[in-house]
Structure 1
Amino acid sequence: MGSVSDQLHGATHVIVPRRTFHVLNGLRGVAAIAVVLFHSSVVLRIDLIPNGALAVDFFFLLSGFVVAHAYDRRLEAGLTHTEFFKLRINRFYPIYLIGVLIGCFIVAGLYLAGDPEFHLWEPALALALALLFLPMIPSGYSGSNVYPMNGPSWSLAVELVVNWVYAVFQRHLTVRRLAAISGAAAVALVVATALRGSPLGGPLWEDIELGYIRALFSFPIGVIIYRVRDRIGSAGLPFPIVAALLTVALCVHAGTWNGLYQLGFIFLISPMLVAVGLGEVSDRSRSLCQFLGRTSYPIYAIHFPLIILLNAGAPLFGIDPMIAVAAGLAVLLLVSAPLDAIDERRRKGQLSWRAPTWPLRSAP
């Protein structure tokens, strides 16, 4: 879920002309907010954005575009698979860790509120595994949740695995082979929809395979779109229009035909939105797209345990849970962009921690 821009890659002596796909950056933020609203709806039992879970498929597709955009030339120039994985972990882990730590507060709250129906070793094991970015075994604490400390982490884990596999085989993955992988995954998603009524899954042990199948369809499509972007052209739609189309598509619920609609979003709508988001952005929209792009990963990685914590803790202070959750998410939205900017400086080695010199002098 990194920024859709070219970088100066000194480690492999490859200089890629810098270009930022501002519309796609903005759409990442819109999709992340959609996921937040979807999970808020589930917790607060209100229907804000019925198909917000489909934003994850949009993320998987953008991930393919971003990884091909940022790393293809570096991999071809000799970036090793281990170096690639370290770079991806370095991008994901620090902010992911914040979400895990909030999950620890939820566990502590359960113990303070009374005797929970699970043993202490269960959340302790879940924490130890989460710190290693590994899933939790089914237990009284986790139920069938793969990442009970922070539910949406399942998609981050899937993305990391798919990213690494792509890096290993990148030089062999032609457009035809990528299309074949997506085609096989598409067949599997159709079968799953016929059997289960929906192609969605991934956060639970009983449907964990669907998370990888969803990624194996969308990620290669994102890579393909990047590789054929010159044929598509750059005359895309303005950001407000594409953002509105994405929002409406995630708000639609097709009733008894919703499973088919979800397939339609994954197979058609999501790739089309990326394709029409390749154009330049107006000066008015550029700052908004940059802000939304910066907020996307922090709010996605942190929001779910925060919602759970605020919803459970609000009644203890006589606060309406809906107000508490809304206020907490508003604060998270405001701090996400600065948090991402600080993390970017950390990754670039631009943060320096120096002790103050003594004696301290006041400013003149």
Structure 2
Amino acid sequence: MTKSWRNLPALRVESDEMLHLDLLRFVASVGIVVRHSFEFFFPESARSTLPSGLALFVDLFFVISGFVIAHVYYGKVDTLSSYGLFLRRRVGRLMPLHWLTLLVSIVLWSGFVAIGKAGNHEPSFELRCIAETALLLNAMLTCGNGISFSSVSWSIGAEMVMYLVFPIFVWMSVRSRLGFLLATVLTLVATIVIDLARNAIDRSWVDLWPPLRALPSFMIGVCLFCFRDKARKLAAPGPLLLLSAALSLAAMISYTHHLVALGLVYVVAITAVAADAPNMPFRLL
């Protein structure tokens, strides 16, 4: 038995190009699971008093997604056929699991309704609402009682919108990297202004319309790819990554304004890209 275990191939990373970004994706996924666990461990009346900053891990995902998509597809979506192939691959990667999750959610909620345990959170069983959820439109449109199956899929819907406009980002950055950087900064500023204008409370960012919330973060990820050559000039990226990650987590679990915590999230992403740059003297992994 021991010998058979020794014959198993050793676990190895597929690539060491983005080890720190991959680590951040794992940390972010854990943080999001913890955030959603509040729904199970705290009564509804107490949830509004809990710090909601852990939800900003989703924005870290958007930044990483922008970088990774640019890393894989930059310069490869310049024709209608390549764009169609890109979208088919994105749909093939995301949608089957989304549809399976939706089906399981419908079955489970049907059981809760049948035994009278649905409570006040019963999703709408209207066919239109289910269809909108299946097409990832549930977070962008309001249907039925406003509660949808697999409501956490809103981020996937926002991601799909980013994939649709990704060729525009590539076109802009090819024409002028500095121009695209300026467009990214202006987009972020405009989104912050909209956020503050609609709701000045400290958790308003997470209540933005999903594609609008994803847009600046995804564009920042693409920008980081375009300027990855500049990452080599950032001194001590490893220690900076550790420090910014600690500050970001502290801001998330406290009652720090979301925009401050969001800025720290962006710093974490920037230092992770720098730490992943080749020939760096200090590496966490």
Counterpart CA distance in 2 for 1:41 and 1:120 is 19
Q: Return closer, same or farther for 1:86/1:187 CA change in 2, 3 Å cut-off.
A: same
Matched, 1:187 2:179: no
Task: Give matches, 1:148-227, under 5 Å.
Answer: 148-168=148-168, 170-173=170-173, 174-175=176-177, 176-193=179-196, 195-196=198-199, 197=201, 198-202=203-207, 207-208=208-209, 211-227=210-226
SS in 1 for 2:151: coil
In the alignment, which residue of structure 2 is the partner of 1:39?
36
Q: List alignment gaps of at least 5 residues for structure 2.
A: 1-12
Counterpart CA distance in 1 for 2:54 and 2:243 is 14
Task: Give matches, 1:285-300, under 5 Å.
Answer: none
**Structure 2: which amino acid aligns with 1:101?**
L
Task: Give matches, 1:172-321, under 5 Å.
Answer: 172-173=172-173, 174-175=176-177, 176-193=179-196, 195-196=198-199, 197=201, 198-202=203-207, 207-208=208-209, 211-233=210-232, 237-238=237-238, 242=241, 245-246=244-245, 249-253=248-252, 257-265=256-264, 268-279=266-277
Task: Give matches, 1:65-214, under 5 Å.
Answer: 65-76=67-78, 80-114=82-116, 122-135=125-138, 137-140=142-145, 143=146, 145=147, 148-168=148-168, 170-173=170-173, 174-175=176-177, 176-193=179-196, 195-196=198-199, 197=201, 198-202=203-207, 207-208=208-209, 211-214=210-213
Counterpart CA distance in 1 for 2:131 and 2:204 is 31
Counterpart CA distance in 1 for 2:28 and 2:123 is 36
Q: Return closer, same or farther for 1:121/1:152 CA change in 2, 3 Å cut-off.
A: closer
TM-score in terms of structure 2 length: 0.73
Give the CA deviation at 1:237: 4.5
What are the superposed Cα offsets for residues 231-278 of structure 1, whole Å, 9 maximum, x if unpaired? 211876559x84685365234358665244234335x43443433442
Cα RMSD (Å): 3.7
Q: List alignment gaps of at least 5 residues for structure 1.
A: 7-17, 287-364
Identity %: 23
What are the superposed Cα offsets for residues 310-349 of structure 1, whole Å, 9 maximum, x if unpaired? xxxxxxxxxxxxxxxxxxxxxxxxxxxxxxxxxxxxxxxx
Counterpart CA distance in 1 for 2:39 and 2:123 is 27
Q: Return closer, same or farther for 1:217/1:42 CA change in 2, 3 Å cut-off.
A: same
**Structure 1: which amino acid aligns with 2:166?**
Y
How many residue pairs align between the two structures?
Answer: 257
In the alignment, which residue of structure 2 is the partner of 1:334?
none
Give the CA deviation at 1:200: 1.8
Counterpart CA distance in 1 for 2:23 and 2:117 is 45
Give the CA deviation at 1:181: 3.6
Give the CA deviation at 1:120: 9.6
**Structure 1: which amino acid aligns with 2:190?**
V
